[in-house]
């Protein structure tokens, strides 16, 4: 069993002796040994990006983050609840107006009245229910209105994150999956489970896909993601894949952005059963003839029956993260995994495991013959500007 503090793995970004003394003393009193202190914002980015055990909290002195402040903030609140909580130390001025501010915890100064002895304990293990610390989170599960969804889609408030995918045989980075986030004016950065299903219900799947593709293609050029030769995987629900104009539009944007089709992978994300198999066959054949890769996403016993799709020209199959994470403890999951890998292999598909969170899962997937891995062990979904930092660090570790 985990003790309450076993999951606590802190990164302190600060150049102040008083903060680092205060944090280490309080952490020690709580029995936390995993405190990584650094004054280098780049190092903080790479620590947050991935690895095991995953970082649970970033204690951040904003003045120390320099140009990387937005990236560090985006790597924290954006990935809750499995993610990294952000604790802001000292002058919070540079964060005024940040859309994620509601999810942050503020600690004005070491040893100050109201913070004093024990503040770290209160910050790391807040009592359940609304508190001054996390008051903003209480609104997080409310449904968004269609107006809010439209405002975000047409007001350029869809953001993108990039989660690296690596080759299991040699750990070489080979691709990025593009993941959407919604920047809400009051609630901060929202994860897809809070808006993607609603967007799809409201018939807005195509505008969402457009917004994500535009963002990703901009980043590809402006953030020089092209320099790495990565593939870029885009999530397309079935309804969008079946719109001929959507594919024509995608192809026009791809040409404008000068991205080789061979570097793009379209992931068929939606899990409803496919009834329009001949239309889907046509869409896939069109994309394949240009050179795009096509992946069947979210394959798992409860998610998607992939058999009907196996004789279409897919190039890859992605194993659902819950299946991957449950397989060590569930024989049903393990049997399904073994069978699926065998059929996918026979169909000539590249097999990608999502949810590779630790070394045990990595080793297991590798032994089962999975080709590529995506998961928190490798990296979390990253803001575009953090991708080069992660890449440099990952390659240095391989060397």
Interface with ligand C2E by CB under 6 A: which residues? 82, 163, 179-180, 191-193, 196, 208, 212, 235, 237, 269, 297-298, 321, 354-357, 374-376, 381
| Between 176 and 180, CB nearer to ligand C2E | 180
From ligand C2E, Ca ion, none, interface partner of 374 (C-beta below 5 to 8 A by class): ligand C2E
Contact 45, 71 (CB under 8 A): yes
- Shortest Cβ distance from residue 218 to ligand C2E (Å)? 14
- Shortest Cβ distance from residue 74 to ligand C2E (Å)? 13
x/- mask, Ca ion, residues 229-268, rule CB under 5 A, reads ------x-------------------------------x-
Residue 357 is a binding residue for Ca ion (CB under 5 A): no
Instruction: Select the residue interacting with Ca ion from 79, 148, 200, 297 (CB under 5 A).
Output: 297
From ligand C2E, Ca ion, none, interface partner of 119 (C-beta below 5 to 8 A by class): none
Nearest-angstrom CA–CA distance, 379 and 244: 34
From Ca ion, ligand C2E, none, interface partner of 82 (C-beta below 5 to 8 A by class): ligand C2E
Contact 333, 323 (CB under 8 A): yes
Nearest-angstrom CA–CA distance, 215 and 181: 11
Residue 71's alpha-carbon distances to 3, 42, 49, 375, in angstroms, are: 31, 10, 11, 19
From ligand C2E, Ca ion, none, interface partner of 180 (C-beta below 5 to 8 A by class): ligand C2E
| Between 7 and 82, CB nearer to ligand C2E | 82
Contact 35, 53 (CB under 8 A): no
- Shortest Cβ distance from residue 357 to ligand C2E (Å)? 4
- Shortest Cβ distance from residue 268 to ligand C2E (Å)? 10
Residues within window 177-236 making contact with Ca ion, judged by CB under 5 A? 235
- What distance lies between CA 110 and its chain's CA centroid? 33
| Between 298 and 393, CB nearer to Ca ion | 298
- Shortest Cβ distance from residue 306 to Ca ion (Å)? 13
Of 18, 335, 383, the closest CA to residue 180 belongs to 383
Residue 298 is a binding residue for Ca ion (CB under 5 A): yes
Which positions ≥6 away from 167 have C-beta within 8 Å? 173, 174, 371, 372
- Shortest Cβ distance from residue 249 to ligand C2E (Å)? 15
- Shortest Cβ distance from residue 106 to ligand C2E (Å)? 26
Contact set with Ca ion (CB under 5 A): 235, 267, 297-298, 320, 354
């Amino acid at each position: 069993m985990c003790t309450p503090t076993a999951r606590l793995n802190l990164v302190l970004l600060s150049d102040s002796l008083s903060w680092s003394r205060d944090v280490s003393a309080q952490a020690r009193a709580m029995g936390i040994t995993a405190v990584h202190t650094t004054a280098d914002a780049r190092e903080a980015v790479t620590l947050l990006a991935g690895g095991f055990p995953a970082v649970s909290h970033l204690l951040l002195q904003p003045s120390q983050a320099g140009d990387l402040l937005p990236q560090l903030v985006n790597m924290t609140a954006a990935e809750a609840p499995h993610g990294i909580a952000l604790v802001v130390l000292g002058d919070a001025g540079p964060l005024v107006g940040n859309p994620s501010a509601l999810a942050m915890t503020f600690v004005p100064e070491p040893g100050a009245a109201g913070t004093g002895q024990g503040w770290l304990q209160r910050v790391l293990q807040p009592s359940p229910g609304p508190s001054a610390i996390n008051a903003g989170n209480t609104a997080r599960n409310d449904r968004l209105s269609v107006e809010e969804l439209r405002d975000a889609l047409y007001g350029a408030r869809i953001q993108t994150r990039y989660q690296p995918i690596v080759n299991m045989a040699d750990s070489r980075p080979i691709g990025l999956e593009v993941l959407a986030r919604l920047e809400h004016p009051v609630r901060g950065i929202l994860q897809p489970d809070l808006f993607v299903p609603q967007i799809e219900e409201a018939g807005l799947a195509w505008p969402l896909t457009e917004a994500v593709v535009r963002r990703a293609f901009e980043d590809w050029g402006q953030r020089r993601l092209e320099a790495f030769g990565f593939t870029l995987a885009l999530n397309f629900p079935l309804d969008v894949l079946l719109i001929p104009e959507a594919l024509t539009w995608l192809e026009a944007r791809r040409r404008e952005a000068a991205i080789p089709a061979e570097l793009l992978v379209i992931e068929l994300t939606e899990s409803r059963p496919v009834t329009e198999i001949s239309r889907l066959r046509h869409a896939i054949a069109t994309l394949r003839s240009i050179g795009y890769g096509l992946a069947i996403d979210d394959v798992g016993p409860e998610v998607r029956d992939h058999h009907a799709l196996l004789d279409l020209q897919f190039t890859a199959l992605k194993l659902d993260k819950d299946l991957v994470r449950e397989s060590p403890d569930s024989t049903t999951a393990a049997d399904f995994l073994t069978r699926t890998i065998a059929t996918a292999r026979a169909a000539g598909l590249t097999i990608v495991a999502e949810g590779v969170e630790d070394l045990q899962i990595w080793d297991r997937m590798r032994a089962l013959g999975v080709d590529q891995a995506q998961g928190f062990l490798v990296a979390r979904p990253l803001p575009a500007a953090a991708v080069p930092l992660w890449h440099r660090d990952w390659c240095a570790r391989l060397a």
